[in-house]
Amino acid sequence: MEKPFDYTFPEDEKFPDKIKIEFVQRSSGRIHMKYGDVFLGDPLTDNHKDRDNYRYHDVFHISYTAILHWSPVFRALLKRKRKSKPDFDENEDSGRAIVVEEGISAWIFNQAKEYNYFVNQKDISTKLIKNVQLFVKGYEVENCPPALWKKAIYEGFKVFRELTTHKVGIINIDLTERSIEFEKIKNE
């Protein structure tokens, strides 16, 4: 198995091998992401006139982390940017890379709506994967094979569907196993 992109970096700049993210509802009624005792980012909203559950799209970044070992968005949320090497900080973990990943997530999401959010893995077309690979050309993730991209997208949408059903839950990822799983919160 290939080593993670960040394997040569200091521990505080690496993704942990196992990560547990909670999607919780606060007293305000809004959903937030939580890592340990720390709330990540802003409350989740769809940011669109259509209420299409895009508020849960961070699960795609989490899936990319688990399966591709890549997500500049999630790396920034966890404060794991690779600042010890300014070239990586600037070119792989910041601005443009984040915009590229957000664009990929939004574009794939719009494609997935037409296919029941990819309930069938076969609905993730070769053309879609090739277009994603064009988006990431020039970034470290460009060398990930199409099968890994397909798995990351499929598994991400599987967890997305669970999360939209339950509204809250725990996402467990294991980078060594390249896995992502949904867990119901007890007493939900």
Q: What is the pLDDT of residues 166-188, one digit of tens each?
A: 999 999 999 999 999 999 998 76
Convert the pLDDT of each residue in 129-173 to its tens digit: 999 999 999 999 999 999 999 999 999 999 999 999 999 999 999
pLDDT at 46 over 80: no
Q: Which domain holds residue 95?
A: 16-183
Q: Residues 159, 173: contact at Cβ < 8 Å?
A: no
Distances (CA, A) of 38 to 7, 63, 121: 25, 20, 34
- Record the tokens describing residue 108, joined without a space: 């794939």
Among the residue ranges 27-41, 45-59, 72-86, the one predicted with the least confidence is: 45-59
Stated pTM of the model: 0.95
Task: Establish if 70 belongs to a structural domain.
Answer: yes
Percent of the chain with pLDDT over 70: 97
Task: Establish if 3 belongs to a structural domain.
Answer: no
pLDDT at 48 over 80: no
Task: Establish if 5 belongs to a structural domain.
Answer: no
Task: Establish if 86 belongs to a structural domain.
Answer: yes
The domain tally of the chain equals 1
pLDDT at 1 over 80: no
Task: Establish if 8 belongs to a structural domain.
Answer: no
Task: Establish if 77 belongs to a structural domain.
Answer: yes
Task: Establish if 10 belongs to a structural domain.
Answer: no
Task: Establish if 6 belongs to a structural domain.
Answer: no
